[in-house]
Structure 1
Amino acid sequence: MSIDDLKSVAIDRVAINRSQWIQLSTKPFWQVTGFNMEASDLLLKRDYQWGLWQGKATASANSASIDKILANQVIMETESKEGKWQLNRLFIPFEQGYFTSTASLDFGAPSQPLALNAKAFSLPLALTQYLFDSDDIQLTGTADLDLNISALIADNLSLSQTLSGSLSSSFYNTEIQTLHSEQPQTLEVTPLKMTADRGVIELESLEISGGTLRVLRAIQ
């Protein structure tokens, strides 16, 4: 029997102190050092559905890196009561900035309502390359970010009809390099402002320019 066949998975207590993980077999290479975790009364699977249904956990790391991107003193605090999960704190300090987030999700509700808030200051744009499978385009620079969204995520239809919130971001010292460019090219990017209202997404005019590249877009 595999763990996927189990109806429920519960753990009374977890304690991890000063552990280290290094992944050098495939790209992107990553490393976590000085990892600590305390967790108790965990219910991780109920009625064959995974999630933090019950319990409390706190985790931290002295450092975490992926390729050349480094974060120090990372911390996360989360808890759940009767399927109502809360991410109370996620704080990732980079060398010149940070990312912080809170979130909530009701695993027990049929609609599974999600709320997510995130802010970033000088977030490395190089992180965007890990969102896609292709390495054809690489971005460098930083971004300030403010994200607030809510949605029902039980299925794709619910998500598409209930997604609401806003995203705003400003970009600094942005450069792009492609397979066809010998040197990085400087980009000027106007602030990104996007809103969503019950699945209807509106993107304000966005201008990207640099060298021979100039794009002006507006989506209603």
Structure 2
Amino acid sequence: MKRSTPPDSPKLFEDLPLKPDFSLEDAARLSGLWPIAGTDEAGRGPLAGPVVAAAVILDPDHIPDGLNDSKKLTLKQRETLFDQIIATAEVSIASSSPRLIDERNILRASLNAMCRAVAGLCTRPALVLADGRDVPPGMTCQGRAVIKGDARSVSIAAASIVAKVTRDRMMVRAGFVWPAYGFEGHAGYGTAQHRGAIEAHGPCGLHRMSFRPLKKDGVVAE
């Protein structure tokens, strides 16, 4: 029977480590839970594009050096670590489309993608460490919500890197399909350039129509 634990109190983690480590995984392994997967998402805030989630089971004997919250890494560092994670760990990736985001809201769409990423792992984890306050519903294993997880757990940090790199690459491809919006430069975030393109051309099929300022618009360009 699957179980979920409540998220940690943020007050307990005001002094975070300088970088994530394997201590959460080691503690769970000592209690008999193994293997352990970390899961995280990228792309909750943009006005366009999918939200992408990754689940990663690291090999304790081959953990890439430099794993950290993807937002704290440079593009080159993320790309290098992405390749190392793919080469040494078990990885699964899933995404929720803009339409699903509009139908279910961004939180539910993000958790759904995380659940599907976990389900896509070849090895069923005994425990999933999920970044944030929520355990993705529907998982067939135990889950633990870890606030600031990408700064505490290398498994979650690895998932954040895989999700971020994958989504950025998707948005570069989207830039070729919809060149008027410059997706390759801003990845769908609400930059001045992006908002100006929406004003000039209207939204396209990648835009999240439930997000402001798009919510007031009714026509979607093909």
TM-score of Structure 1 vs Structure 2, range by shorter chain: under 0.3
- Where relative contact order (Cα < 8 A, 6+ residues apart) is larger, the structure is 2
When Rg is computed on C-alpha atoms for both structures, the one with the higher figure is: 1
Q: Which structure features the higher share of helix residues?
A: 2
For normalisation by structure 1, the TM-score amounts to: 0.22
Q: Which structure features the higher share of strand residues?
A: 1
